Structure 1
Amino acid sequence: RIGEVSRCGILAKYNNVSFAKSLGTVVTERMIDTLTILLITGGTVLLQMPVFVTFLQQTGTKIPSFLHLLTSVWFYIVLFCFIGVAALLYFLRKTLFFYEKVKGFVLHIWEGVMSLKGVRNIPLFLFYTFAIWACYFFHFYFTFYCFAFTAHLGMMAALVMFVGGTFAVVVPTPNGAGPWHFVIISMLMFYGINETEAGIFALIVHAIQTFLVVLLGVYGLTALSFAGRQRK
C-alpha cells in the first residue's frame, strides 16, 4: 500500500499540505470505503446467499471455522498479550524519548481524520463516493461483454465477483495479483465457465487494469515534474 504514503508525500511537496494531516484524510477515506463496501457486500449477500455459501464450501472456507476461532483459548491468549503490551507502553509513554514527537504526529493525523467535519456539502460528498464505487463496478462488469463465454452472465453475477474481488485485493500483493485471480476464476467456474476460459478472463482483465494504473501513474509523474519546473 505504498501508494497511500506516496500520495501524502506528493501533497506535502507540491501543495504544502502537512504529511500527517493528509495521512489522516487517507484514514478517513479508507473508513468511508470500508463502510461502502460493507454495505454493498451486505446487500449482495442477502440477494445471492446460496452463491456465497456454495463458494465458501467449494473453496474449503467454512463459516463454522471462524466461530471456532472465537471460542479457541489461544485466540484470547494472543488478544490479552496485545492488550498487555499496549497497557505497558501506555504507562511507560512519558519515559520514552520519542513520545512527544510521536504524540505530535498522531495529533496531526487525528486532525486529518476529523477533516470530514469540515466538508461543506455532505450530500455531494456521498454522491461522489457512490459514483466512484459505481465506476469501479461498471469498469469490471463491462469486461463481461468482451468475451463470448461471459457475455451471457448478468449484473448480479458481476456484483458477486466484484465483491469477492474487492476483498481479495485487500491481500498485500501488487494490485491483488494472485488472490484476485483465484477468486474470479473460482466464481466464474461456479457460474459454469470452464477453468481455461475463466483463467483467460482473469488474466486479461487484471493485466489491462494493471496496465491502465501504470500508464496513468507514468502520466501523473511526468505531469508533476513539469508542474514542479514551472513553479521554479
Structure 2
Amino acid sequence: MLRGLTITSYEGIPFEKAFGTIISERIADFFMLLLIIGVTLILQAEYLLTFFRENKINPLMTLGILLALLAVGILILMFIRRSTHPFMQKIKNFARGLLEGMRSILQMKKKVAFILHTLFIWIMYILMTYVLIFTVPETASLSFGVVMVLFVVGGFTISATNGGIGIFPVAFGAALMLFGISRQGGEALGWITWTTQTIMIVILGGLSFLFLPIYNRKK
C-alpha cells in the first residue's frame, strides 16, 4: 500500500494502476517461489516432506487455499462487474485500474530485463541464506540442497506470519534437526538470518525514502 502511494506521488501514476503493478510483481514472486519449491522437492524431497509432516504443514492445502481465495476474488469481481449500483461503479473503476496496472507486465517494453531482474533477486535471496550458514560452526558444512530446504521453510513461515517474527528461527531449528543439527544451532542460524534480512530491509527502505525526493527533484 505504502509503495503504491509512493509511486503515485513521484511518478504521477493513478494509485489503482500503481497498486496493480505491485500485485503483478507479487504474482511473479509467487511463481518464482513455486519454481524453487519444485526444484527443492526434486533435490531434497524426503527431508522436506518429513519436515512438513512433523510440523503438520500441508503444502497442497496451502496451495488449495490460495486457489480458493483466487476463485472467490474472481466471483466477487464478476458480481461487481454486473452491478449498476453507484458504489459498485466506483469499485468497478478502481478494479479496472488494477487490471490495467497488472497488464503492464505483458505490455512492458523490457520484458527480458524484468524476468532477469526477478531471477537475480531470488538467486541473491538463496545465496544470502547460503552465506549465512558459515556464521554458525555447526551449520558451516551444510550442502546447498539443505540451504534450499531452509529457504523454502523460511518462505512458508514468512508467508504464514507477519514477516516470520518469532516463528522463523523455530522453523529453522526444526528443519535442521532432520539433518543432524541441534535445535540450538538451527535456531541460532534462524535468528541470524531473520535479523540480517530485517536490518537490511529497514536500512535500505529508509535510505530509499531519503533519496527518492532528491532523485525526483533532479529529474
Q: TM-score, normalised by structure 1?
A: 0.80
Residue pairs, 1:52-201, within 5 angstroms: 52-61=48-57, 66=61, 86=76, 89-90=79-80, 93-95=83-85, 97-173=86-162, 175-201=163-189
**1:33 is the counterpart of 2:22:** no
Q: What stretches of structure 1 move > 6 A for 4+ residues in a row?
A: none
- Contact kept, 8 Å, 1:185 with 1:202, in 2: the verdict is yes
Q: 1:2-61 CA deviation, whole Å, 9 max, x = no partner?
A: xxx101101111121221111111111111111111111112112211112211232234
Q: Shift of the alpha carbon at 1:226?
A: 4.4
- Contact kept, 8 Å, 2:135 with 2:189, in 1: the verdict is no
- Contact kept, 8 Å, 1:165 with 1:183, in 2: the verdict is yes
CA distance in 2: counterparts of 1:167 and 1:62, whole angstroms: 11
Q: Shift of the alpha carbon at 1:227?
A: 5.1
Unaligned runs of 5+ in 2: none
Identity %: 25
- Contact kept, 8 Å, 1:185 with 1:199, in 2: the verdict is yes
CA distance in 1: counterparts of 2:8 and 2:105, whole angstroms: 19
Which of 196, 204, 208 aligns to 2:196? It is: 208
- CA RMSD across the alignment: 2.9
Q: 1:77-118 CA deviation, whole Å, 9 max, x = no partner?
A: x99xx79x95995598213x3122111111111110111122
Q: When the two structures are aligned, how many residues end up with a matched partner? A: 211
CA distance in 2: counterparts of 1:200 and 1:118, whole angstroms: 45
Unaligned runs of 5+ in 1: none
Q: Shift of the alpha carbon at 1:139?
A: 1.1
Q: 1:127-186 CA deviation, whole Å, 9 max, x = no partner?
A: 22111110111011100112211110010000111011112111241x221332232111
Q: TM-score, normalised by structure 2?
A: 0.84
3-state secondary structure, aligned to 2:138:
coil
Change (3 A) 1:102 1:91: closer
CA distance in 2: counterparts of 1:94 and 1:191, whole angstroms: 59
- Contact kept, 8 Å, 2:158 with 2:164, in 1: the verdict is yes
